[in-house]
Amino acid sequence: MQITSRLTVAAHTLAVIEYFKNAKVTSDFIASSVGVNPVVIRRILLQLKDAGLIDVARGSGGATLKKQPRDITLLDIYRAVDCVEEGGLFHFHEKPNPDCPVGGRIHQALDKSLAKAQQAMEESLSQTTLADILKTFAPA
């Protein structure tokens, strides 16, 4: 299983908004770059707006960044679009058998390691900014 694509779609969306900041960047325009339905982009834009990362003009006015690209990390984007369910990156199966010697202690065996893995991933995401991503698209 993979983490939802919302993180990559949101990062792509923000990169398009900044790269084409001198044009009107609409959900249709972004969707043509991302390769998804504009409805998906509108949902992402709403989440990014609610997180304070962008402004969206009413109608077809377009979107703009509210922060400088150097001040937006992948972790900010990840958190903005709710890439994981409440409680963490790793979802535990619902009903391990408490009467089984393994099932009764599986949380004890895994919880600490899984929390460390999530913390390491979030630390890594916090090290990359939108500005870092945009360097890839700079003219040579």
> Where in the chain are the domains?
6-135
Which value, in Å, is the radius of gyration of the alpha carbons in the chain?
19
CA atoms of 80 and 54, how far apart (whole Å): 11
Does the global pTM surpass 0.75?
yes
Mean pLDDT within 93-101:
88
CA atoms of 131 and 139, how far apart (whole Å): 14
Query: Does residue 138 carry a pLDDT above 80?
Result: no
Class of domain 6-135 as given by CATH: mainly alpha
Residue percentage of the chain with pLDDT more than 70: 93
CA atoms of 133 and 137, how far apart (whole Å): 8
Least confident of 10-24, 82-96, 105-119: 82-96
Query: Does residue 140 carry a pLDDT above 90?
Result: no
CA atoms of 126 and 34, how far apart (whole Å): 23
Q: Residue written as tokens 């779609």?
A: 9
CA atoms of 101 and 83, how far apart (whole Å): 33
